[in-house]
A = this chain, B = another copy of it.
Amino acid sequence: MSEKILLPSSGRHTAEGHILPVRIYFEDTDFSGVVYHASYVRFFERGRTEYVRLLDVHHSALDAGEAGEPMAFAVHRMEIEFKRPARIDDVVEVVTRHKETRGARIILNQSIRRAGTILVDAVVTVVLVNKEGRACRIPELLAERFAAAPR
């Protein structure tokens, strides 16, 4: 049988940005009956991870020092607007678009939508930090890959 079918989706780059499908599970909901707000923050992180994976940027490789010293992405700032709730069993899409790079900061527009309706909207600023937690210049290697991302 094809192993390809059994890979989790990494989504894909489209004209409107990178799109990652996410299924809502028990773990994502709370007693109010809908998705817990911090779960969307986790979904945004999955979206960013798959967005950079398709640019051939991997957390494990960054952690291993591929770009010089060991590094990891860290979120510097988020503005999130929660418009409508998702529910158990829903399939939602995490949309990630590069907005701009300013020095060490990469600013992304992200949203979560269901059947074309936007549920959550966010602007997220990420930086690369080294093991001491200091923000690093974006390595040339990565800057080129980001520059090549569809937008």
Contacts and interface: CB of A to CB of B under 8 A. Distances in A.
Interface of A: 1, 5-12, 14, 19, 21-23, 25-27, 29-34, 36-38, 41-42, 45-46, 49-50, 53, 58-60, 63, 72, 74-82, 84-85, 87-89, 91, 93, 129, 131, 133
A122 to B, nearest CB: 9
B23 A32 contact: no
Given A60-B88, A79-B79, A37 B74 contact: yes
A85 B132 CA distance: 10
Nearest to A92: B8
Contacts of A76: 81-82
Copies of this protein chain in the complex: 4
B131 A33 contact: yes
Given A6-B9, A78-B78, A133-B85, A27 B36 contact: yes
Nearest to A5: B12
A60 to B, nearest CB: 4
B72 A32 contact: yes
Contacts of A1: 14
A84 B42 contact: no
Contact of A32 (B7, B26, B49, B77): B26
B27 A38 contact: yes
Given A7-B21, A31-B34, A36-B26, A80 B77 contact: yes
